[in-house]
Amino acid sequence: MAASFAQLNEDKESSPCLQAEDSLAAKMWGAQRVVALDVLMVFWGIGTWLGVNGLYVQLPLLVERLPEGWALPSSMVMAVQLANSGLLLYALLRRLLPRVPDAAYIYALLVIGTLALVLNAFLYERTSVVGGQERSVAYLSLTFFAALVGCTSSVLFYPYLRHFRDVYLATYLVGEGLSGFVSSLLALVQGVGGEPECLPSADNSTLVPHYPPARFDTTVFLLLLGALSAASLAAFVIINNYAGFASERVAPAAAAKDDEATTQRPSLAAPRWVGVMLLMVLLNALNNGVLPSVQSYSCMPYGTQAYHLAVTLGAMANPAACLAGVWLRPVPARALAAMLLLAAAPFAYILATALLSPAPPLQHSGGGVALVVIAWVVVSGVISYARMWVYGWARLGGARGMRLCGAVGQLGSVLGSAATFAVVNYTPLFVQPDACPPVGTLALSNL
């Protein structure tokens, strides 16, 4: 059971577009359909990862204002990983309350996600002292609850879709992909306001950074996300209750999947399978653990705008890679290996800029900004495509292959997140400079 839940949890991050490649995909858009239901499916799908993606693209603003500073992304990554406990809670509730329909759990999940975003809009700056240090307890706790929606959606939302004709799977998946794209567009419109200005404190003893405001602040941004999440909830209420969609529903009995009925299955212990699964461990460790945790150290020395662009454009690279997987034939294994080898160069540059922070190469040049942003976009896109390619390979093993792929992928996410959190927070490898130099230092520099 745990392995199957792990597999489902990974589906929501990297493989939804793969499901559109089924034999039905070619005729989905040509089939008769109810457009109103399509629209509602899109809005419902947007609510899945809206919270996590929205909070992630706010990091360029939040790392300047919350006490964790540049280490905030690593703490956020751990909060998201802990939200996978929702899978275990759902499994327990299904055991204790087997007659409760999935729709009731979906209602509860979307309400929790909406409330988490709205409350975070007003509480994200509230801090508490933990272990003698000031911590963003409210922000991280509400991030956990916002992430519950995405982490648990794969064991709730996908199974619920079996009640409707297959043609509506595509539109739901479009909405799920838009959850990251919409939040990135909002962040691009919001901007980050520019670099901080160092002004003397009230007693003239220190310099205090004053950050120029963005076009609208984090409170407004999170309220907009909360409104979109509420729209997702409203869309599902209509989908589940409107009698006019009865003709689009299917009979309760579901046909057995071809992959479950296959009599000849490949051995998952074959060397090639082992190699592909190890690749999945590595890709998820990088994508869900290492990269988001060190991005602030890699980008912030080049300025808030560079960090902002790297986050938002990198987030857009994921759905772009997903669309490439739908409309283009999968590349051969050798071509994928070549792509990964070529991506090793920008990945090495990313690590170098993070480890050399706060004085990375080409720090004060436009070329340095362009180079670091391009490196992040390229690496994000290649890793997203490679993870989707691995899921496509795993489908050759039927349900067993997908379960194994999901389990090892989740293992990689946990290992990458925990290891990077420890390195970022408990070693001196990654350094955040003071936003403003001491007054004495500034006076000497003016002599």
Say if residues 50 and 228 touch (Cβ distance below 8 Å): yes
The contacts of residue 158 (CB under 8 Å, 6+ apart) are 8, 11
Q: What is the pLDDT of residues 414-439, one digit of tens each?
A: 899 999 999 999 999 998 877 666 65
Phi and psi of 208, rounded to 5°?
A: -115, 130
CB 210: neighbour CB atoms within 10 A?
12
Q: What is the pLDDT of residues 170-200, one digit of tens each?
A: 778 778 878 888 988 898 888 876 666 777 7
Say if residues 340 and 278 touch (Cβ distance below 8 Å): no
Average pLDDT over residues 34-40: 90
Q: How would residue 327 be classed by pLDDT, with cut points 50, 70 and 90?
A: low
Closest C-alpha to 279, from 392, 177, 373, 377: 392
* Burial class of residue 327 (count of CB atoms within 10 Å of its CB; 0-12, 13-18, 19+): exposed
CA 71 to CA 136: how far, in whole Å?
11
The verdict on pTM exceeding 0.85 is no
Average pLDDT over residues 5-17: 39
Residue 151's pLDDT is 84
Residue 323's pLDDT is 66
DSSP structure class, residue 197: E
SS3 129: strand
CB 408: neighbour CB atoms within 10 A?
25
Terminal C-alpha separation, the chain: 69
Task: Provide the token pair at 330.
Answer: 């999968």
Closest C-alpha to 354, from 432, 297, 293, 286: 297
Q: How would residue 368 be classed by pLDDT, with cut points 50, 70 and 90?
A: very high
CATH for 2-252+267-436 (1.10.10, 1.10.3470, 1.20.1250, 1.25.10)? 1.20.1250
Residue 347's pLDDT is 96
DSSP structure class, residue 133: E
Say if residues 375 and 346 touch (Cβ distance below 8 Å): yes
The contacts of residue 144 (CB under 8 Å, 6+ apart) are 79, 80, 82, 83
Residue 8 in this model has a pLDDT that exceeds 60: no
Task: Provide the token pair at 438.
Answer: 């001491």
- Parallel/antiparallel/unpaired status of strands 133-135 and 207-210: unpaired
Residue 139's pLDDT is 96
Q: How would residue 86 be classed by pLDDT, with cut points 50, 70 and 90?
A: confident
Task: Provide the token pair at 159.
Answer: 């199974």
- Average per-residue pLDDT for the chain: 82
Residue 30's pLDDT is 47
Average pLDDT over residues 228-253: 89
Question: How far, in Å, are 8, 23, 104, 167, 248 from residue 253 at the CA level?
Answer: 21, 20, 20, 18, 15
Say if residues 280 and 390 touch (Cβ distance below 8 Å): yes
CA 342 to CA 210: how far, in whole Å?
41
CA 299 to CA 371: how far, in whole Å?
10
CB 104: neighbour CB atoms within 10 A?
12
Residue 265's pLDDT is 59
Q: What is the pLDDT of residues 336-367, one digit of tens each?
A: 999 999 999 999 999 999 999 889 999 989 99
